[in-house]
Amino acid sequence: PYRRQRQMCIRDREKTMEKEAKITVHPSFEIGEISPRLFSTFLEPIGTMVNGTMYNPKHPTADEQGFRKDVIEALKSTDMPAIRLPGGNFVSAWDWKDSIGPKEQRKVHLDPAWYQYITNEVGHDEYLQWAEKVEAEPMYTINLGTGGIRDAMDIVEYTNHEGGSWWSDLRKKNGHEKPYGVKVWYLGNEMDGPWQIGSWDKDPRGYGVLANETSKVMKWIDPTIETAVCASSAIFMDHYPEWEETVLEQCYDSVDYLSMHHYHSAPPGDIKALLGGSLYYEEFIDTEAALCDVIAAKRRSPKKMMLSFDEYGAMIRPNAELHPGYGVYNMTRAHYRFDPDRKYVLHDPDQMPDRKHPGGDMLQMLAMVSIQMAFLRHADRVKIACMTGGLGALCSSDHDHVWRSASYYALSQLMEYAKGTSMQTSVECETYDMPGYAIDDTSQYRGKENVPYVDSASAWDRENGRLNLFVLNRNEESEYSLTVDVRGFEGYRFVKQFEMYTDDLEASSSFDNPSLVLPKEKEDILFADGRLTTSLKPLSWNCLLYTSDAADDK
C-alpha cells in the first residue's frame, strides 16, 4: 500500500507547483547545551534481545563469555554514548543477587512481566561487562517492585565501591577488580503502572517516600551518582500528571531526573499522524518540566529538575475494537487480565526468529528522528533519551548476521553532528491539521492543528566552529524549495547537505541487501551572503552542515 501511495503522490506532485519553506537560525536564540546521553539506547531481555542478539555461545563469533562479537564490533563502530539496562518491566521481579557468581550456581526464575524463564546466564556483571565491550556508559535500573532499600544499598556497594566491604570484595572475587563506576541509577521502572510487579499505582506518596530514602542512602554509599525517579508511564494514565506531582513532593531534593516513557502509535497508512507524533512528546515534556518547576517553587528549591526520556518509540499499529463505557483512558482496568492459557517461554539464544517492522526502513527512521529533534528542541531540560529499539537501529541483526539500516545512518548523523548548543529554528511553511484518533481503549490522541510540514532542529558547536541543521519533510506528496537564513553567523559557510530519500516506503534492508536507503550528498545548492537555497524531497531526512572560517585555522 505504501508503494502504491507513493506512486500516486509522485503523479500528483508533477501536476502542482513546487512549494516553499524557510528556516532561520540566529546565534542570539539558544535553547540549551546538548547532552551526549540524548542519543542513548535501551536494553531489556524481551524475547531474543539478550538471548540471541547480545548473547549466543553457539554463534561463530561468540567470545569467551558467549557474547556475539559481530554485534559488539558493529556497536563499537558507532558513537553510542550510553545504554539503559537491564530493563524495563523485567527488573521488578529480578533478583540481581541470583545472577552473579559461577553460572552453574545461579538460579532460574520466572519473569511474570513477559512470561518467560530468566536463566541468568546473562547476569548483573555480564550486562555491565558487555557495556564495557561496546564502549557505552551503562545506566542501571534497580528493582523497586519486589526489591527495596537494602537491596539498593547492596547493588551500589557491589557495583561502585572500591573494596574492603563484603559486596565490593565479592565483585572482585567474581572477576572484576575495579568498580564499574555506574553513574546513573533508575529508581525502579514505570512504578505507577498496574502492569508493574509491586506497582505503586495506588500510592504515589509511598513510592515518593521510598524513592527519597533509596536515593539518599545510595548517594551516601557513592556521592558521585545521579538518580532518576519515575513519572507517569504514559500521557494516557488516569492519574497523569497528579501522580508524579505527589511523588516529587516527597523526593525532589534527593533525585536528579524525572524518568519519562512514551510510545507513539499511528494507524496504517496515516503518515501524517506517525510523523506528527513528536508533538505529543513535546506536550509531555512541557507538562513535566512545568510540574517540576512548580514543585521547586513550593519547596523554595534552587534546583532545576532535569528530564530523562529513557524509553520511547513510534510505531504503526492497527486500530483495535473500542469499548465505550469501559473507561476510555483507564490503563488500570486494561491490565487486570489473567489468561489461564498463557505459557512461560524459554528463549533459546540459538533460535532467533526473523522480525520485520511494518512500513519499511524509511518510515521507521523518519518517525524516530522526528522524536529526537523534539528532544533537541528541549535540550535545556531533556538530558537523557534512550531509544527503545536503538540497538537494532544501530546494528540490525538476525541469527547469523549484522547490517546497517536507514535508521543507523540518521542516528549516526545525529550523534556526530548534534553537539554543542541546541538553537531555536524559526520555520515558515505550510501546515496541516491532524485529526484526533484512537488506536485502542488506552491509546487515544487529541487532534493537532497547524502542524508544520517541515520539521527542524539545529546544533551550534562553537568550540569547533560547526553549525548543523536537521530537517525533515513530513509531506508525502510535495517537494519544497527551502531557504535557510544563517546571516547571523558571520564567517560561516555552507559545507554540504546529506539527503535520505526513497521512492519505495516498503523497502527493508537486510544482510544481503543493506544499501537500499543511504545518505547521499546533494548537489545544485546555492549559498551566498548567509542564505542557502536547496530543496527537500517528500518524506526525506536532511542534514545541512556549515563551518566557520576560524575552524579551518585550527
Identify the active-site residue in 190, 226, 244, 499. Answer: 190
Q: Report the DSSP beta bridge partners of residue 457.
A: 470
Integer CA distances (angstroms), 234 to 31, 238, 262, 283, 398, in order: 26, 9, 6, 12, 31
Find the helix packing angle between 124-133 and 69-76, rounded to 10°.
50
Q: How many Cβ atoms are within 10 Å of 470's Cβ, its own excluded?
A: 25
The type of residue at 135 is E
CA–CA distance, 288 with 286 (Å, rounded to integer): 6
Closest CA to 392 of 354, 433, 430: 354
CA–CA distance, 512 with 552 (Å, rounded to integer): 40
Identify the active-site residue in 137, 311, 477, 499. Answer: 311
Q: DSSP string of 342-383? A: ---B---TT-PPP---TTHHHHHHHHHHHHHHHHHTTTTTEE
- Phi/psi of residue 22, nearest 5 degrees: -140, 140
Element (H, E) at 551: helix 549-552
Closest CA to 397 of 89, 142, 52: 52
- Phi/psi of residue 323, nearest 5 degrees: -125, 85
Question: C-alpha cell of 502?
Answer: 526513497
Integer CA distances (angstroms), 59 to 63, 69, 351, 352, in order: 9, 9, 11, 11
Q: What SS3 string covers 263-326?
A: EEEECCCCHHHHHCCHHHHHHHHHHHHHHHHHHHHHCCCCCCCEEEEEEEEEEECCCCCCCCCC
Whether 33 sits among the annotated catalytic residues: the reply is no
Whether 190 sits among the annotated catalytic residues: the reply is yes
Q: Say which residue the cell 518540566 belongs to.
A: 289
Closest CA to 463 of 502, 419, 422: 419
CA–CA distance, 452 with 473 (Å, rounded to integer): 9
Q: How many Cβ atoms are within 10 Å of 220's Cβ, its own excluded?
A: 10
Catalytic residues: 190, 311
